[in-house]
Each structure stands twice: as C-alpha cells, then as structure tokens.
C-alpha cells in the first residue's frame, strides 16, 4: 500500500515538475523544441518506472513509445518542411 502512494506522489511531482520547467523554458526555446520535449514525458516516465521501480516493459508500452517517437518526428518534419529546426 505504501508503494502505491509513493508511485502516486512521484507521478504528481514529475507531472508538476514538467509544468514548471515548461513555463521556465517557454521564453528560451522554440515552440517546435518545446513540443518535442513535452511529448517525450510519457517515454521518460516509462523508462524511470522501469529503472527505479522495476516495472516491466510490455510490448504495448514499447509500441506506444515507438508511436510517440514516430508521431513527434513526423510532426517536426512536416511543420519544418522537411528540415531540422534548431533553437539558437
């Protein structure tokens, strides 16, 4: 039971941290870069759960992670007209 509450606490802290860091970075990165990093939150949560909490990586999670990577990559290339956008 304690482990369940610990997971909930860590999830809330991680989720809140992404909001705060997003607000801090809003003025210093391009919208494309912000969208890229924001969409990788689920993938980093899966990896942290696997490494820290010992959660198993199921085929469904891996397929979902690949779909997120493919979707973000296609969006970046489509919006950028096929060229890589750098935030300078």
pLDDT of residue 53: 93
Its pTM stands at 0.53
Are the C-beta atoms of residues 72 and 36 closer than 8 Å to each other?
Answer: yes
pLDDT digits 0-9 by tens, 20-79: 777 777 778 777 777 777 788 888 888 999 999 999 999 998 999 899 888 877 776 766
Q: Which residues of 48-58 are buried (b: 16+ CB within 10 A; e: fewer)?
A: ebeeeeeeeee
Structural domain boundaries in the chain: 2-79
């Amino acid at each position: 039971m304690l482990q369940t509450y610990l997971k909930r606490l860590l999830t809330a802290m991680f989720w809140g941290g992404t909001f705060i860091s997003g607000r801090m970075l809003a003025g210093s990165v391009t919208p494309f870069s912000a969208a890229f990093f924001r969409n990788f939150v689920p993938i980093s949560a899966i990896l942290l759960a696997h490494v820290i909490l010992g959660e198993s990586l199921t085929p469904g999670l891996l397929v979902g992670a690949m779909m997120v990577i493919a979707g973000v990559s296609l969006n970046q290339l489509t919006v950028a007209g096929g060229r890589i956008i750098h935030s300078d």
